[in-house]
Structure formats: C-alpha cells, structure tokens
Structure 1
Amino acid sequence: MAPPGAGKTTVVPLRLLHEPWLNDKRILILEPRRLAARAAARRMADLLGEQVGQMVGYQTRDERHISSNTRIEVLTEGILTRRLHTDPSLEGVGLVIFDEVHERNVPTDIGLALLLDARGTFDTDVRILAMSATPQAEKFSALLADTQGPAPVITSDGRSFPIDVRYVQRQRNDRLENIVSSTILEALKNDAGDVLVFLPGIGEINRVRDVLLPLVPPHVDVLRLAGALAFTEQDAALNASSGSRRRVVLSTDIAETSLTVSGVHIVVDAGLARTPKLDPRTGLTELVTVTSSRASADQRSGRAGRVAPGIAYRLWSRIEDSTRLAHLPAEITQVDLCGVALELAAWGTPLEHLKFLDAPPPRALRLAHDTLQMLHLLDHNTHVTELGHQTLRLPLHPRLATMVARSTSSDAWIACVISALLDDRDILRGRPDSLPTDLAQRVAIVLENEHHPDADRNGVRRIMERATDIARRANIEVDDSLTLAHIHTRVGALLVLAYPDRLAMRRATAGQFVLRAGGGTWMDAKDSLAHEQFIVAADLDGDRKSTRIRRAAALDANDVILALGDDVETTTVTEWDSKRSDVVTRTTRKVGSLVLDERIIATQPSPEVTAIVMRHIVINKLSPLNFDSDVRSLQQRIMFMRHHNSGSWPDVSDSALLATIPDWLEPFLSGCTSNADLAHIDIGMALHALLSWDAGIELDTLAPAVFEPPTGRTVTIDYSEPDAPAIAIRVQSLFGLLTHPCVMNNAVALKVQLLSPADRPIQVTSDLPGFWTGSWSQVRKDMAGRYPKHPWPIDPTLR
C-alpha cells in the first residue's frame, strides 16, 4: 500500500523483474483503464531506455504491443479473464499484479476470484500482488490468505509534499461549469503551477472548457483528458507545459490514480464521480453522477503535492466533507452482471466456492441469468451454450456479442457498427431531448451514407475504428457497398437480437410505446420513429414513472419472427367473436405482451364449433334463437300439457332448454357458425321433435293453438298461465255461442277477455252463458251508444 506517486505502478514491476523466485517468468500488471495501461508501459520503457514492445509491452482491448522478448505486460483487466479461460495455469507467468485494487472494478474482482481459484485447482505457482493507494489492506490480505495465514502487507509512505486544502462552498443554484471556472481563474491568478480539474464526465469537461476559453490569459492552454479522447489529445494533456506557458487540464477521474499529469501544483475537485448503477426494474446499467468519496478526494488532492507543496480546491464545505462515504460501493454490487454471470458460468466453479471481497448480489445475478437465457447464451441449467461460447470470444457486452455472433454475412458489418455505437457515447451532440432516436441514422453517418450537423467527427472516427476492430476480432469483412436503404431496413432486425426484451409496439398515440414485458416508454411525437409499429429501444433513460427512448430502430413483424424464433408464441383459437357475431378461428403471433399479427380464417363446421355455438346460446339465454310468437305459443302449450299431465310431457321451459341444449338443439346446429345461421333454425320443429307422433296429435287436440269462434277470425290462445289459458276476442265474434270456450276436452275453461270493435277491453269472463244472461244488457247499452254501426242484439245467443 502506497500513496499516489510513490512508484507502485512503474517502479515495483521493474524492481521485481530479476528476483530469483520469478525464474525469468513474465509479470502481468493489470490496469483498470486503457490510458493508464499505455502510460505505465511507456514510462517503464523510458526508464529502461527502450521502446514499448521490447522488455515492457501492453495490451488493451484495442491495441497490442507485445513481442517474444516482453517480460512485463501491462494489461487492461478484462484481458486477464480471457487468458485464464484459455490457459488457467498462466503458463510462463510468475507474478500477476493487480494495480489500483481499491477502485473495485468488476474486472478486478472477477479476475482476482478466477486467479485465486486457478491457483487452488491447477498446478501453478503464479504469485499475486495487490497494490492500492487507500487503506483497505486488511480486506485484501484476508482474501489472499493461504495456509500460512493472511497475505503480508507492505506499506510505503512514498514522497509527498504538504497540500493546502481549501473549501469553496457551492451554492444550490450555482451551475457546475460556472463555479468550477471561477475557481480555476482564481487559482491561475493567485497560485503558481498547472491546474488539474476533476469533473465527472466529458459533457461537464466540454461545458467548463467553453466557459474558460474566452476568459483565460493567452499563455494558458485548456486541455481535456478522458478515456474517450484521441491518443494525441490524451498525450498532450499528460505532458508538461513548455517554457512560460501554463495548463488547465480538465479530466475525468482517469487522472485520480495510475497517471501522472506533469507540472500540476493545483487541483480543483468538483466532488463528483460518475459510476455505473443497475436499475433492477429495467435491468439496465446507467452511468449516474454521485458524490465522490473521501478516499477519492484525498487521492485527487494528492495529485497537487507530487513534486512540491500544492493547493487543492474542494467545491464543497468542510462540514460536508465529513459526511461523505469513506469509499464508494464496489462496482460488482451496483451494475448489470450479464458479463459476470457468463464468465462465471464458463469458468464452471460454483459461485459459493469462489473468493470475492463482495459477492455478486443474488438478485442482480438472477436478473443476469434470466437475460442470458433469454439471449440463449445459457441453457435452463445455466450451462453455457455454443452461442454463449461464441460471444465470450468477443470484447463486447453479451447482448452486443449475441447480435454480432447471430448476424448473417450480409449484415455482420452493420452489427459491428451498431455494437461500436452502443458501446460508446452518442456520436450526436446537443440537448438529448432534441436529438433523433433513430440508430439507423447513426449507422449511416458512421458509414458516410448520411450526414448530420450535430455529428461529432472525432466520435464518428472513433466508432469506425472500434467497429473495424470488432470486425477483425470476429473475422468479419468490412462492407463498403451498403446502401442507405439497406442500412435503414436492417438495423432494427439486428438490434432485436441484442435487445429482444426491449421490443416495443406503438400505442394509439404517436411516440407512445409498450415494451414486450408490458411497461410503457415514449419518444417525442415528432421523432422519425414515432409512427413506426414496432421498434427496438436500445437506450432507455428516465425514472420509474417515465422511461424515455433515446436510441432505437424500427423493424417489422417479420423481422421479429425471424429473429426471435422460439420466443414467438403462435396461438390458434376458435371462439365466438361478439363484434362479428360469428365463430372465428383467430391465429395470433405474440412476443410477450405484444401482438405481432393476427389472422382470421374461415371456420369449418366441427364438433368444437358446435360446442362454441351452444355456449354462446347458453350465455345469451336463448336470445340468438328465433323464438317468435308461434314458437312461444308451442312452448307454452307443451308446458300446459305437462302441467296437467306431467308424466308424459317434456319440460320445455327456458331454464330446462338451456340445461339440455345438446339434447334437443345440437341436431339442428350442423353448419351453424353465426347469429344469422341461428336465426334461420326452425325452433318449432326442434320442439316438435321432442314429442312423439301421438303426443303431437294429442297436443293439437287438447291444447289447440287457436280458438275458432262462430264468426270472425280465429284467435291465438295464450297458455302462459297453465291454470287459466286465455283469449282476447271481439264480443261480436261470440254471438251465437251458447257454451263457454274450453280446452282439454272441456276440462279447462278459457279466460275470455271481451273486446269492443276498437279492440278495447270490455269485460273478462270465465262464464260466457252467465255473461249473456247477466251484464250483457248493460254492456249492450254502453256499446251501442259508442259504436252504433255495429250490431248489438238483445239476445246474443242468436246469430
């Protein structure tokens, strides 16, 4: 353990190179950042008076400067895990140095866990050295313990000079770029030396630079330092000023450890850091700006005292300083673990048998396993599939590696460009809310098929270089013949291979979409993708209430079906469609909650269709059937006969008919699929079919449908009241009738409602002879006055 500048990175490996126990084997040094790896290798080569690639070399994801003579290899951390998978014993390696282990990056924790497991499993004598600038030595000593006890801790105080720490209180409404710029200008005016400024990201760096450039004196250079910048710009920021010129270096936390920015005597610390964090709801890892830790503040301040007394400006209060976290949480506890889960599954050792300072959180690991299984990189037993092994060979997130691995030869180069775009910051600059979401447009810009005024030329060049490197590693040829139309039709189809869970379908409102899993998301209604039916949202931003689409691509249903294959659920359902009033056979293709398409085909008669029709009739309580007045009359007559002679007559009440539909109606449903078909069924015939031949004759005899009066038209007998069937008839039609009308062989008298010539009720009687001899004379007088043109005889029994 030693403070920044003590020589851990560049002096220790050279000092150990000729130790007898190393036995002329190689030393691997792991650095958390590409820029740090380059700088460390160059510094050690300079100390040896050699070129990089001789005794000292380095390898990052994008560069390799190592020869057969190289004894010290400076690697970015992810390189080690790849080597361990192919050579677990690290043949020819005597020492692995984990530099800046206090940063607790995911590759550090994974590489250390796998190397410790390999030491215990394979025949290897590789030694491990962990180097840190902050006091966490006890944790690492315990982790590296062996049978002889905890690993020894070596401490060096290094050489540092006093730091004058000055606190500058930032007010709530102070814009970051303004308070930082004013502090820098004050330091340039009052203090000597170059200024190193710590900011959370490239966006803040650019905004501070824009404020500073018009204000700094002519002899002051304003430089940027960040991992995303070109090497030439990085080198310019690291090199000391010439002559009387001064520098202001605007840097991310990349200059916090491992790197030495020459000539710095002043540090301005904004007190912020950008760290990756997982949102468990969406499964996304996003970079969030947080308050930096006390350990980070001390390391940043220490950069001012490397060669002489220095000054550190902290843009927060002394009181707030004491409330900050001592260290930020380990990255492995905060981020998406898809890459980790795939690495561990490929390694094969159960998680509980691996040594971690902080074990991967179970919830995040389960989410990662779900994602990897969705991508078909792990099987249901969490074993790595053949596709999973292919993706492990690519220096990409498993999602992007899946897209590259599954792409066809004609689309593979586009997949490489998409991966490079999504693996870096957006090439379009400006207010995020004003930028288009279409990822295909960005691909076209990189491939020079399209131009955009907001495109960052350096960013475009960097993406092209990165895409070319991905293609080289995946044995994919760069395709210069792609047309703009082809790009715009294929980006979405490729993107869904990486983000099948981010497939989204447009709602009724332009710009409003629903995701495959059911959540909502949105983009500006004027965006070029706002009216697309299907999109893949690769970049989502926002909180739980409102997730906004930042980068996406359009695709059609056929692209989804082709890409997702087994994930597309095809269902064929034959059911009653209430809107069509018909039985339909509906074939639906879905992914999650999204309906890709739906086809309705003609329904053929079958027992299944008949059963559906009968269910429809029951649900609607016989209403689809044509129960006209004649049918209702027949139904009531049968129920009348059952009432008076229940033993031999069927129950044809509505409730009984509903309960026995298969018995009496099914023979009449052949070929029926709609309400229109049901309306043409002769229900009277169906009810008659329940009666024997003799019963039918008996029904017409004992319970006739109509009553035939002495004169006039026949009238329908109402059997709704079985004990008192009724008729309504004009009194003139009964003149000459001496006996009361009856049914059931005169056993049941009809209730007769006597009507006037205007069909208005006059009187109700169940004793017609008594009416004639009784109240007729009074009725006659009243009716004769109202209807003088109609006959009103004194003796109605005469015709």
Structure 2
Amino acid sequence: MAMMALPIDSRLQAIRSVLAEHTRALLIAAPGAGKTTRVPLALLDEPWCRSGKLLLLEPRRVAARLAAGYMAEQLGERVGETVGYRMRGESRTGPSTRLEVVTQGVLTRLLQDDPLLEGVAGLVFDEFHERSLEADLGLALALDAQQGLREDLRLLVMSATLDVPSLLAVLGESTPIIDCPGRSFAVETRYRPLNSREDTARQQAAVVNEALQSDGFEGGDALVILPGVGEIRRLARQLDVQTASFEVRELHGRLSLAEQRRALRRDPEGRRRVVLATAIAESSVTVDGVRIVIDAGQERVPVYQPRTGLTRLETRRVNRASADQRRGRAGRQGPGLCLRLWAEEQPLIPHGEPEIRQADLAPLAFELARWGISDPAALAWVTPPPAAALAAGRELLQRLSVLDDAFHLTALGCACVRWPTHPRLAVMLTRAVDLQARPLACAVVATLETRELDGERDLERALQSRLAERSNGPWQRDARRLARIAGCELEVASLAPLGELLALAYPERVGQRLEPGCFRLVGGGLATLPEDTPLAHSELLVAVELDGQNGEARIFRAVSLSSRRLEALYPESLEWRTRLEWSDSEGKLLGEQVRGLGAVVLARKPLQKMPREAVHQALLEAVRRRGTLAFTPADDQLRGRMALLRRIEGDAWPDWSTASLLDRLDTWLALYLDRENRLDALDRLPLGRFLRDSLDGSRRACLEELAPERLPVPSGSFVQVDYTPCLQDGEPVLAAKLQELFGWRTTPRLVRGQVPVLVHLLSPARRPLQVTRDLESFWRNGYPQVRKEMRGRYPKHPWPEDPLSAVATARTRSRR
C-alpha cells in the first residue's frame, strides 16, 4: 500500500550512507518525523543487514506491538512474517522474520545469553531520551560487545531529543549525527486546573466537551493523555454517561494489538474520536487525525520502593520536556489546541531524571556480575550508576547469597539467571524446589510483581482470595508463564510454605515480636503494625511491604513464620555466637550467647566470660557513638599545638582532631586498654600522654621548638601560650600583664617565624586592656590612652611615658 510522505523520508538515504561506512550513528528526529517505522524498514536491504536481522528497541510494550503491526501492514504482511515483536511473556516472530521490535529488557537477556548476538546485524535504540535503566544497560553492554566481539554490529541511537555531548562521550566524538526536523503547526495552549475537592473524571469530561466545541477545531479528534488504565476507565465511564456525537477509544498496554491499532485510526464512519491514552501517546506512536490534546499533567515512572524491595510505577507530575512533547501532538497535521489540566503558574521540573539515578540497582548489579564485570567503570555509560546505590544493590545480593565477596555470581546466582524477575524473587523461585513449593512461588512472584493487594495486611489471606479467582488477569498469566519456565503445573496445594518462601526473598525483613505489634527485624530496626491485627501477636513474621528505612517502620503486609522453619531455611541460626551489647544506662558491656538470624534471637544463655578483645572493641565503639573524648585542658593545649603545626606544615604532622582520633581509636587508644570494662574508667586515662608518646624523640623536640608551651617575656617570666583556639583554626594567644612587656618591640612569632601570636595585654587585675598582633604600633598609638585611664586606677604599678625604654616587671612600685 502507498505510504504517506513523512519528514524522515528526506533523510533515509543519508542514514543508509552513514551506516554503510560507520558502525555507530545518532539520529535526532523531531516528533512525528516517522523515524520509528520508516528507518528500520529502510535498513533491511542494506548489504550489512542482509546477513542478519535488525532489532528495534522500544521502551514500552504497547509501542513495540503497534510499531510492528504498522510496519507489517506497510509490507502487506501479518505480524510475525518479515516484521515481528518480542517482549517478556509474549512473542510473534517466525522463520522469515528479519526485523524484530523488542522491549529494552529483552536486549539485555539476548546479550547475556549470546554476547556475539549471532544472527543480529544491527540494533536501533528508539526514544532513547526516556533513559530507562534497561536502555542505559543495554547500550553499555552492546557497546562492550561491539568493541570486543562484534566490530561489524551496527548501533543507531535515535530520539526526538538527545543529550548529544553525553552520548558522543560514550559512542565516540567522531560518531555521525543525522538531524531531521519535524512537521509542526501552531498550537494554542489553555490551562484548566482541576478542583481537588470535586470528582476528577467529571471535571475532565467537561474539559473534553469544551475542547470539542472550540471554534476552529470542530473537525479534529481529541487525544487525552492520562497516567494509567484506571484513570482511562473512569473517564471513559463518565463520557459514556453523557450524550455525545463522538466515539471514545482507549489506548494502553492491556488491549490486544487489534484494539490498539484501531485506536490509532480514524473512524471509518467519519465520527470524531476521543482517544484516552497513557503516556505511550506522548512520543512513541502517532494518533492520526488528532488536533486537540488534553494533558492531565501526570505520568507513571518506575521508582524503587523500599517498602516492597521492588521497583513499582509511581504517579507524579509530568516534567516540562514531556509536557511540551505532549503539546506538540496537537500540531502534527494542522493547527492545534492543547488544554492542560493544571494552573499556568504550576512549576514543572525541566527534565525527568535518568532511571539509573533513582532505581534499585540490585538487578543492575546482578546483570553486571552475569556479564563478568566487577568494576562498572569498565563499561561506557551515558550516566554511570551511582556508587552508593550500586553498593546497596550488591550488599543485598550478597545477603541473598547471589554474589560472593568479589561480586561474582555464586552457584545460586547462576541458577537464578533463568528467571526474568528481580533477583530476590529469583532466589525464591530457585530455592522453592527444596520446599516442594514451586507452583506457590510462581503465584506469589506474579502477585507481587503485577499488582497491589488491597486491604488485607495478612498476605496469606489476601493471596488465598486471589488464588480462588477464576479470571484470566495479568497476574494469573504471569504465574502460568513462570510455571512453564519452572516446568510445573500451576496447582497450589497448600499455602503452608508461604512464610518460608518469603523469608528466602526477604531475609532481612524477618521480624521477632518484642511486644504486640512491635517487631525487631534481622537488621536491628523496628517495625510496627496495629495491635488489633492477628499478625501483631505472631512470634515471628516476614514483612513483605513496609515503609521507612531507618528507625521504626510501618508494616503494610506480612505473613507469619515459625522458628522451626526459619532454622531449617538458615542453618546458621542454629549456631551459638557471643553477643555483646553496650549498656548506656550502666556504662558497661553486657554479654550473652545467642543463636538466631541477625538481631532475631531464637535462644539465649548466659556468657560465662567475656573476651577481653571484645570488651575493648565495645568500649571503643561506645566512645565513637558518644562522639567525644575526655580530654583535659592540658590535653587540648597539646592538641592545639599539633593543629597549628599541621595547618602550617601539612601532613608532616598527625591529625589530632576529635573526628580523626575517633576514627583511629584502634591505632592509638586500644594499645593502652588493660582491664577497663566501663566507660568512666576509660575517661580517666591520660589521653594527652598517649598522644605525646606516639611521637618519636625528634618529633617531640621539634614540637617544643616550633610551638613551645611557654614563651619568655621581658620581665623574665615564662608565660604560657594558649593554643586551644588553634583547634578551631584560630590563633595562639599570649596573655600577660602589660608591665611585663615593657621594651618588647616585636610581636613574638612561632613555627619558624610564620605565625605571630595574638597578644592579650592585661591590667594588673589581669583584665584585658588591649588585643594586638603589632606591639610596636600599640606602644605608639594605643598605650597613651591606656596609661591615661589606668594609672589612676592602679597607682602602685608603673605607667611610664616611654614604655619601650622602661624596665619590664611583674611587681608593683618599690615602697619608699
């Protein structure tokens, strides 16, 4: 069939030419240019592509199905012939398929199974600007495979908007860039904020009717972009209630391919359409005939949820770049109208964050280990994985026994590879065979991944009601798919092993009752649920959903667990170990022998004798936790001297700041612990002497020379220098009676003459008269006024007119 001309057509030859000579390229094509469906078909007959198939990567399942269907139609074929698609749990391909449209996670599995990608000639990353975690990982692995194994593999990254500098940094500065402008008409924008106290769907329906009756847009179809299927269904019901001369169509991932394709086409009877779509309509597909866009201003994005330990979709306000992209949908085929369902002054963030910066990185850590990478810097990332998040992901995998200490897959980790799910759930599916509970594990994993179970806190009861349903919903289909992988029938005989299964996936969330409704988790934190629930009185439970990561968390869903079954799952819980706890109230260490899992104690007995080393370590940890050390004033003087030397001469001198010493207690204080087992005894130790003894003889002599404790003054006295201000980057202070400094023209200096002391001139009553760094200037300019004010008050003390020629003294005038 004849194809309508699109802007990308003028760039197809340039794309062919570039990929004929280069293995990497960037395509920046404005929305509506036709890049998704025209570019892959144009590449199929290129010489480099004839020996293998082409993979087109789409960020969403709906986009993958629709793109495959549209391209197959252009060839006059059915999906599964030349053009097919593949995604988790669904595939339509055949022996003649040369172009596969796949979701981004499929590419990672293909690369992991076959890094050579045999039979694949090229990869096309579509809508890369959405920056999903799977797209970032897929590109990093593809680049690694291309560089080391497949130099002939073509990579084309394309999008409406691209961070070109960041992409060139990983693809290479010489990577060709093809730019294709779109076809866009003027779009009028109106704002229609909704009232949060009124029914949302009713207000949205009123805006739809307003838009359809707007002057100049009477013949155009309307596209309403909503965050999810629930919102689509509610608005569809509201529109059905009204008398309308338009047809309501839905566009989302739960529809069949035929229903999705029908939503994109104009009504054959010429009626106006109102297409209710998820964010799939923002960039991945074009809805023919649309002149009006109504934007709810929300999007569902994947966000890691600590309460479940899984990544779920979360509804949040759309970012400005996405809002502008949605607005542009109204101007594809003529002048358009966009109604935004928020206030014009509502601030929007400029861009969405790459998913890699906000996601749970345990799955990424698992894929890196499977790829054989221990250092993520070995791969080229558009946005490198944050170190802290990656470390947390690896820590979880080690706790699950999926990774070893070198971040390599263990035997259990290798067995988990077969499951297309989160690693913690893969552990449950793998180890379920030991419990003869594979069917139940498949049902549990599908339930946790596909939907929230409302209302019931007891997961066993909630799951029981779901298993009794005879519907063919998403979670039942996913459960059957997992059962096929497991090689079992989905026939759940008993829910008895449920607690054990969940303890395999969530070992850190096993909780022990301290009192009704309050539980201590394996990691030591507390978690609570209402006392009036049956689970509040369980001795042990597994918290599947909870909020809060520190301190006390609320349990949303859990299942009870027996201690006998916990011991069978984790044999290490049968081993006795010494547990020492510091008692702040008693100021000493208390010890006992316990067995259990982490902070969950299944049995305990008294400890006859506490190991001396353990007592000392507990003492040091108590000091660290307190955050202070019991320094005397003399100790602070010594530390101030050292702080001054370190500030002037650098690392040649040790760091004796409180923070540094607390970090290094094992290297300087532990040496002097003997029989102390109480904190107050430790506080009486001569800490300053220990620090001084840590210096060798030459260093101690140098300390006395460069920062002496006392300085001689003209009266013959030796006056102590106050170095405590140096602990806070201040100056050393010399405080002396004014009469003792007569004749002293030059301010004394320390540390090889580099640091002048701050002189505090005192009255005979040792009250401050003047502070100066320049004695000569003081004698000349400040002293006359001081003499005038003080000699009447202290007549027995000398106040000569010329202090520079007077004899310094610490005494009063001689009696006559």
Normalising by structure 1, we get a TM-score of 0.66
1:176 offset after TM fit, Å? 4.6
Name the CA distance, whole Å, in 1 between partners of 2:579 and 2:180.
75
Name the CA distance, whole Å, in 2 between partners of 1:240 and 1:532.
59
Question: Percent identity, aligned pairs only?
Answer: 42
Aligned to 2:106: 79
Name the CA distance, whole Å, in 2 between partners of 1:550 and 1:200.
25
Cα gap change, 1:543 to 1:384, in 2 (>3 Å): closer
Cα gap change, 1:168 to 1:18, in 2 (>3 Å): same
1:248 offset after TM fit, Å? 3.3
Contact 1:412-1:476 at 8 Å conserved across structures: no
Aligned to 1:264: 290
Q: In structure 2, the residue corresponding to 1:256 is in which secondary structure?
A: helix
Contact 2:55-2:120 at 8 Å conserved across structures: yes
1:247 offset after TM fit, Å? 3.8
Within the candidate set 587, 600, 603, 1:598 is matched to 603
Structure 2 letter corresponding to 1:519? G
Within the candidate set 513, 532, 551, 1:506 is matched to 513
1:476 offset after TM fit, Å? 2.7
Aligned to 1:548: 554
Aligned to 1:101: 128
Matching of residue 163 in structure 1 with residue 219 in structure 2: no
Aligned to 2:450: 424
Matching of residue 341 in structure 1 with residue 365 in structure 2: yes
Cα gap change, 1:589 to 1:31, in 2 (>3 Å): same
Contact 1:343-1:392 at 8 Å conserved across structures: no
Aligned to 2:666: none
Contact 1:101-1:130 at 8 Å conserved across structures: yes
Aligned to 2:456: 436
Q: In structure 2, the residue corresponding to 1:28 is in which secondary structure?
A: strand
Aligned to 2:524: 518
Within the candidate set 374, 382, 386, 1:361 is matched to 386
Matching of residue 140 in structure 1 with residue 167 in structure 2: yes
1:338 offset after TM fit, Å? 0.6
Structure 1 letter corresponding to 2:419? L
Matching of residue 389 in structure 1 with residue 414 in structure 2: yes
Within the candidate set 455, 464, 470, 2:476 is matched to 464
Name the CA distance, whole Å, in 1 between partners of 2:490 and 2:352.
44
Aligned to 2:489: 478
Name the CA distance, whole Å, in 2 between partners of 1:282 and 1:63.
26
1:547 offset after TM fit, Å? 3.8
State the Cα deviation string for residues 749-771 of structure 1 (Å, max 9, x = none): xxxxxxxxxxxxxxxxxxxxxxx
Name the CA distance, whole Å, in 2 between partners of 1:7 and 1:303.
13
1:377 offset after TM fit, Å? 0.6
Alignment of 1:300-379 (within 5 A): 300-320=326-346, 323-349=347-373, 350-379=375-404
1:132 offset after TM fit, Å? 0.4
Cα gap change, 1:507 to 1:110, in 2 (>3 Å): same
Moved more, 391-400 or 525-534: 525-534
1:253 offset after TM fit, Å? 1.4
Structure 1 letter corresponding to 2:473? R
1:402 offset after TM fit, Å? 0.8
Name the CA distance, whole Å, in 1 between partners of 2:355 and 2:500.
33
Name the CA distance, whole Å, in 1 between partners of 2:534 and 2:221.
47
Structure (1 or 2) with the larger CA radius of gyration: 1
Q: How many residues align?
A: 571
Cα gap change, 1:586 to 1:364, in 2 (>3 Å): closer
Structure 1 letter corresponding to 2:542? V
1:568 offset after TM fit, Å? 6.3
Aligned to 1:195: 222
Q: In structure 2, the residue corresponding to 1:295 is in which secondary structure?
A: helix
Structure 2 letter corresponding to 1:128? L
1:153 offset after TM fit, Å? 1.4
Aligned to 1:494: 501
Cα gap change, 1:572 to 1:329, in 2 (>3 Å): closer
5+ long unaligned stretches in structure 2: 1-27, 582-590, 612-816
Cα gap change, 1:526 to 1:379, in 2 (>3 Å): same
State the Cα deviation string for residues 116-154 of structure 1 (Å, max 9, x = none): 111111143101001101243343233211xxx431111
Structure 2 letter corresponding to 1:164? E
Within the candidate set 400, 406, 413, 2:431 is matched to 406
State the Cα deviation string for residues 335-374 of structure 1 (Å, max 9, x = none): 1001101111121233112111110001100100000001
1:573 offset after TM fit, Å? 8.8
Cα gap change, 1:182 to 1:525, in 2 (>3 Å): farther
Name the CA distance, whole Å, in 1 between partners of 2:390 and 2:238.
44
1:280 offset after TM fit, Å? 7.4
Name the CA distance, whole Å, in 2 between partners of 1:523 and 1:229.
39
Structure 2 letter corresponding to 1:187? A
Name the CA distance, whole Å, in 2 between partners of 1:15 and 1:346.
35
Name the CA distance, whole Å, in 2 between partners of 1:529 and 1:213.
44
* CA root-mean-square deviation: 3.2
1:263 offset after TM fit, Å? 3.8
State the Cα deviation string for residues 579-617 of structure 1 (Å, max 9, x = none): xxxxxx98743222222x22679x9xxxx69x9xxxxxx
1:222 offset after TM fit, Å? 4.2
Alignment of 1:179-258 (within 5 A): 179-190=203-214, 191-192=217-218, 193-209=220-236, 211-214=238-241, 216-228=242-254, 234=260, 237-258=263-284
State the Cα deviation string for residues 270-324 of structure 1 (Å, max 9, x = none): 222222334679966454333212221122122223333322111234444xx53
Aligned to 2:299: 273
Structure 2 letter corresponding to 1:476? G
Matching of residue 7 in structure 1 with residue 7 in structure 2: no
1:541 offset after TM fit, Å? 4.1
1:391 offset after TM fit, Å? 1.5
Aligned to 1:112: 139
Cα gap change, 1:560 to 1:269, in 2 (>3 Å): same
Cα gap change, 1:76 to 1:463, in 2 (>3 Å): same
Name the CA distance, whole Å, in 2 between partners of 1:555 and 1:447.
21
1:572 offset after TM fit, Å? 7.4
Matching of residue 539 in structure 1 with residue 545 in structure 2: yes
State the Cα deviation string for residues 729-748 of structure 1 (Å, max 9, x = none): xxxxxxxxxxxxxxxxxxxx
Name the CA distance, whole Å, in 2 between partners of 1:185 and 1:528.
50
Q: In structure 2, the residue corresponding to 1:407 is in which secondary structure?
A: helix
Contact 1:142-1:151 at 8 Å conserved across structures: no
Name the CA distance, whole Å, in 2 between partners of 1:258 and 1:111.
19
Structure 2 letter corresponding to 1:125? D
Aligned to 2:465: 445
Matching of residue 564 in structure 1 with residue 590 in structure 2: no
1:425 offset after TM fit, Å? 1.6
Alignment of 1:636-675 (within 5 A): none
Q: In structure 1, the residue corresponding to 2:168 is in which secondary structure?
A: helix
5+ long unaligned stretches in structure 1: 452-456, 576-584, 612-799
Cα gap change, 1:286 to 1:48, in 2 (>3 Å): closer
1:236 offset after TM fit, Å? 5.5
1:465 offset after TM fit, Å? 0.8
Name the CA distance, whole Å, in 1 between partners of 2:88 and 2:195.
42
Name the CA distance, whole Å, in 2 between partners of 1:140 and 1:242.
44
Aligned to 1:660: none
Name the CA distance, whole Å, in 2 between partners of 1:405 and 1:360.
28
Name the CA distance, whole Å, in 1 between partners of 2:189 and 2:282.
16
Name the CA distance, whole Å, in 1 between partners of 2:580 and 2:102.
62
1:526 offset after TM fit, Å? 4.1
1:221 offset after TM fit, Å? 4.5
Contact 1:524-1:530 at 8 Å conserved across structures: yes
Name the CA distance, whole Å, in 2 between partners of 1:123 and 1:141.
20
